[in-house]
Amino acid sequence: MNETPQSLARNANAIKMTMKRRTDFAGKYPEEWNDLPRTRKEAQSIKPAPIHYFTAKLCPYGHLERRFTGGGNCFQCLTLDVARRSQLQKKEREAAIISKRETRTCPECGEGFLLRPKDRQDKIYCSKKCAGAESKRAYVRADPERRKKQSAKSATKRYREKTVDQRRIDRNKYSKNRGPRRKAAHNVRTRINNAIRHRLNGGTKSWRLKDIGFDVDKFMEHIESLWEPGMSWDNYGVGPGKWVRDEIVPMCSFDMTDPKQAKECMRLENLRPLWHEANQRKAKIDLKFSKRH
């Protein structure tokens, strides 16, 4: 495009005024802005055209700023305008979300959650914990040994976070879920191992039921044959109105660290069902007897 003498004169005059204003406003703007084109026409004549030019002329709102080559807009004015429009769009979106009450289902935990105004539009998971669950599983799957350590660490952390009452409730819950056979085996095994720990002052030696020849099925048949009226596996346990397994010759009379004596203590002829209250009275007598011997 050919320039007319008039347009060339106007551009030269505009450059002259820019240089004067830059001198007047020296120190009030970054020094590197002096490297920008002095007028829009000068910027458009450069190939490729720069994004900004700087005339050092205040905009109608008093901003001493660069201007865009494309439209001649003040950089500061455009930035504020974009921020205002963004804030308006945000408020409109918040109002729309609140009015819609949109709910989504978390693919990790399956729980529904209400989309909040501050949430991203593409939000999928209900929380950061659910969002990172899959990546954590992948991290653990990559190394089997790390998986064992991670599982043990998580279980320990969950256990320590619980109060004493919560731990007791969990133990009781799991105990109720056991059937009669598992409950009987657990009761005998725990009783034997507690006796061993007491004998060894906290030692960890323990016997499995098969180590002492204890058969749970035969034990249950034997106990059922000796039941008194009102006894059943439903009220087997510790507490009023319940019955327990009792050793006729008390366990404190045997060295439970010796498998032969443990087997002798737990033979069926030495076991019988006894109401909890009667067992408590017998236990006091057995304790006095064991202290004398």
List, for residues 25-64, the tens digit of each pLDDT value. 999 999 999 999 999 988 888 889 899 999 999 999 999 9
Selected residue with higher pLDDT from 276 and 215: 276
For the stretch 259-291, what's the b/e string if a residue is b when 16 or more beta carbons lie within 10 angstroms of its beta carbon?
eeebeebbeeeebebbbbeebeeeeeebeeeee
Which of 120-129, 206-215, 251-260 has the least mean pLDDT?
206-215
Instruction: Note the pLDDT of residue 293.
Output: 46
Residue 182 has pLDDT above 90, yes or no: no
Torsion sign across C-alpha atoms 272, 275, 280, 284: negative
Residue 211 phi, psi dihedral angles, 5° rounding: -65, -30
Beta bridge partners, 74, equal 67
- Over residues 177-191, the mean pLDDT reads 65
Distance between CA atoms of 15 and 255, rounded to whole angstroms?
Answer: 108
- The residue that leads in pLDDT, 107 or 122, is 107
pLDDT class of 89 with cuts at 50, 70, 90: confident
- Mean pLDDT along residues 196-202: 56
In three-state form (DSSP H/G/I as H, E/B as E, the rest C), the secondary structure along the chain is CCCCHHHHHHHHHHHHHHHHHHHHCCCCCCHHHHHCCCCHHHHHCCCCCCCEECCCCCCCCCCCCCEECCCCCEHHHHHHHHHHHHHHHHHHHHHHHHHHCCEEECCCCCCEEECCCCCCCCCCCCCHHHHCHHHHHHHHHCCHHHHHHHHHHHHHHHHHHCCHHHHHHHHHHHHHHCCHHHHHHHHHHHHHHHHHHHHCCCCCCCCCHHHHCCCHHHHHHHHHHCCCCCCCHHHECCCCCCEEEEECCCHHHCCCCCHHHHHHHCCHHHEEEEEHHHHHHHHHHHHHHHHHC
Mean pLDDT over all residues of the chain?
81
The per-residue pLDDT for 226 is 92
